[in-house]
Structure 1
Amino acid sequence: MHLKKTLFASFLTLGMAGSACASSLVATTDTLLGAVAASAEALSDATSSLRDSKVVRAARDDAASFVASAGAIRGVRLEAALALIRGHAPELANTGDLQLAQAILSQ
């Protein structure tokens, strides 16, 4: 009988530890996703005034290629749009090209 209690206590402890790890993973994932969403929203707000720009609209295909290739394909129209965005929104000077390309695609 003592063995059964010990096994039951062991399984219960393992189950609780697994549950704690899963909860921690979910909390960490939620935090990271929230930070990414906030960053994307800030970029979208900063570039929304440029939405009607012909240069930015023309860069959508280049931005899609850039994002799909993880930065390997850089088009001339995308380069022009990135320069325009950074010129009009100096607070985005340190924002990565990939994030700005994703913001262009979200417009």
Structure 2
Amino acid sequence: MKQPDIIDKVAMAFSAALMLVGIVGLGIVEIIAGKPYGAAPLTNEAGEVIATPAVDPTLRTGLVILGLLVLAVWGLYRMASTEPAEGDARREVTAD
């Protein structure tokens, strides 16, 4: 198995940071800001908006999706850059 190089470490750290900021960091901001904790604005019986979330839910979702995309691109890079091991010699087998 190939040891992680600098590209692997940067990709893993960057994607983890994006997802942690999107989930944990902005979640803590929402808790500190107070209610409402949901993604949708609160309305009264007349339909007027009385409270909105402190952080836009599309921003949080975008950070998490960007982190997942970085992981996907890194995975494709690893698949393309991995060389076969020494014991993985390909040989042709003929059927009888």
TM-score normalised by the chain length of structure 1 = 0.32
| Structure with the bigger percentage of helix | 1
| Structure with the bigger percentage of strand | 2
TM-score normalised by the chain length of structure 2 = 0.35
